Amino acid sequence: MPMRRRRTSHNFGMLIVPIVCIAVSAYFGYAGIFGQRGLLARNDTQAQLALKEQELALVRGQREALQHRTELLDSRALDPDMLDEVARQVLTEGHSGEVAVRRSPPAH
């Protein structure tokens, strides 16, 4: 009997390293596919990126429109019509006999 016990424990000891390697490989394989940054999460991340790129393009367009309007109000090349328009919008005042017609902002 002592011989059989030694052989069983020796065989079990030789299986520990492969079992640990298989367990570690299974863990990282599962995380690589189903994990937070795995292959399946990649599609969601790409969809979010596309949405954020669209939002960025919209904000850039708005910024460029505002930048253009501020350039028109530059003191070195002041456009009188733009100054009058901004003053009327801010002060909401007009001259007697004028009719104010609010217009929608230009579409970009």
Measure the CA–CA gap between 70 and 65, rounded to whole angstroms: 9
* Structure confidence at residue 1 (pLDDT): 45
Question: Are 6 and 13 within 8 A, CB to CB?
Answer: no
Query: Within 13 A of 81's CA, how many CA atoms are on the CB side?
Result: 0
pLDDT in tens, 79-105: 777 777 777 777 766 666 666 666 676
pTM of the model: 0.46
- Domain ranges in the chain are 1-34, 49-94
